[in-house]
Amino acid sequence: MKLLEYVNLEVVGSVKGKDLLTWFDYSSTEVKKLLELAGALKSLAKSDVHPPLLVGKTVGLIFEKHSTRTRISFEVGVNQLGGHAIYMHARDLQIGRGEPVSDTGKVLSGYLDGIMIRANSHKMVEELAHAATIPVINGLTDLFHPCQALADLLTIHEIKGYLQGQKLAYVGDGNNVAHSLIIACAHLGVNVSIASPLGFEVDSSILAKAQKLAVLNGSTIETTMNPIEAVENADVIYTDVWTSMGQEEETAARLQAFEGYQINEELVQHAKPDYLFLHCLPAHREEEVATSIIDGTHSAVFQQAENRLHAQKAILASILS
């Protein structure tokens, strides 16, 4: 679907009206085209050009968790595309007082053109998407964070120039960020090595499915409990916090479990000399990453954060325009 001939812009027409709950729901071609669109929209934005692809569209943004990057990037993204975003915290909706998720989905479908939700439970988001007759975009759940992964790949592509065959080492908790990252990397031929301590590995069923997808695209996904093994000859090193929101009571136990998994000057010596460091933020300096690394010359965490905006604009434009 070609729009706005004067900028030669194409949205990914095959995903129009489609939910985005996990990248397993999309083809490798669709993920690649969304990535290309994100880059094109970013280039236009840098020239103060914002294609009005969502004029007349209203997107509801539902949050069960606090947010900086997700909330602001989605609000700005919808606005830049000419649409209107409505921020809604779950506690202010009837869903926060016990209204069935299915009822909420049906009601909102009569008002809105799309829903983005940042939720505690992936099962709840699946229930919402099943009931709604409008597209639902996963802004984060306990299992997946697909928008973050697309922004990650955009950042790697911008800096490294290509994705196929790159080695990404993920060191830390096998959480929602890790799950979406391995799926997105599998779609685009990025090799992944994940190092997590016992008890904090990525979900085995998600891993197996991602590994099968990786084979189809000429890459591998490997796991280890040895951070040095994971980082060996890596092009990209990625980590996330060891204790996420809602896990605060586990902080002491997690600090002990993740001892030896910090991204620091000693560990990065095993990566390629021009390695790239990524972190989805917020970061806990001197826990999962040394200050000298995250604030050093190899770090692209703020470019990565900005790319949430451009990646999500590509998703919104393709699903809703």
pLDDT, tens digit (0-9, with 9 covering 90-100), for 38-91: 999 999 999 999 999 999 999 999 999 889 999 999 999 999 999 999 999 998
- Annotated binding-site residues for carbamoyl phosphate read 67-70, 94, 118, 145-148, 280-281, 308
pLDDT band for position 108 (cuts 50, 70, 90):
very high
Which pLDDT score, from 0 to 100, does residue 247 have?
Answer: 80
pLDDT digits (tens, 9 = 90+) for 281-297: 999 999 999 999 999 99
Residue 65: predicted pLDDT: 86
pLDDT in tens, 192-213: 999 999 999 999 999 999 999 9
254 is catalytic: no
- Classified as helix, coil or strand, 261 is coil
The annotated binding site is made up of 67-70, 94, 118, 145-148, 176, 240, 244-245, 280-281, 308
The pLDDT tens digits of the residues spanning 266-282 come to: 999 999 999 999 999 99
Least confident of 91-95, 236-240, 260-264, 307-311: 91-95
pLDDT tens by residue, 23-39: 999 999 999 999 999 99
Amino acid at 307: N
Average pLDDT, the chain: 96
Instruction: Indicate the pTM of the whole model.
Output: 0.96
Report pLDDT for 300.
Answer: 99
Q: Which long-range contacts (C-beta less than 8 Å, at least 24 apart) are formed by 161-166?
A: 163/188, 163/189, 163/190, 164/188, 164/189, 164/190, 164/218, 164/219, 165/189, 165/190, 165/191, 165/218, 165/219, 166/190, 166/191, 166/235, 166/236
Does residue 185 have an active-site annotation?
Answer: no
Instruction: Please report, for residues 3, 6, 57, 144, 210, the alpha-carbon distance to residue 179 in angstroms, rounded to integers and kept in the order given.
Output: 33, 38, 31, 6, 9
Is pLDDT at 2 greater than 60 in this prediction?
no
Q: What local confidence, expressed as pLDDT, does residue 244 receive?
A: 83
- Residue 175 in this model has a pLDDT that exceeds 50: yes
- Provide the pLDDT for residue 249: 82
Task: Quickly list DSSP for 68-106.
Answer: SHHHHHHHHHHHHTT-EEEEEEGGGSGGGGT--HHHHHH
Q: Of these residues, 235, 240, 304, 310, which one is catalytic?
A: 240
Give the list of residues 6+ apart from residue 320 with CB closer than 8 angstroms, or none. 16, 54, 57, 59, 83, 113, 114, 135
Q: What is the pLDDT of residue 110?
A: 98
Q: Which of 122, 145, 179, 254 is catalytic?
A: 145
User: pLDDT-based confidence at 163, cuts 50/70/90?
Assistant: very high
Question: Which alpha helices (DSSP H) does 220-270 contain, by range?
Answer: 227-231, 251-257, 265-268
pLDDT of residue 1: 46
| Residue 20 scores a pLDDT above 90 | yes
* Residue 97 falls in the annotated catalytic set: no
String of DSSP letters for 277-304:
EEE-S---BTTTB-HHHHTSTTB-HHHH
pLDDT computed for residue 97 by the predictor = 79
Give me the catalytic one of 113, 280, 298, 312. Answer: 280
The answer, yes or no, to whether residue 3 has pLDDT greater than 90, is no
Contacts of 217 (CB under 8 A, 6+ apart): 28, 186, 187, 188, 189
Q: What percent of the chain has pLDDT over 70?
A: 98
Entry field: residues in the chain: 321
Residue 308 designated active-site? yes
**Would residue 118 show up in a list of annotated catalytic residues for this protein?**
yes
Residue 4: the pLDDT is: 52
Q: Which of 118, 122, 187, 254 is catalytic?
A: 118
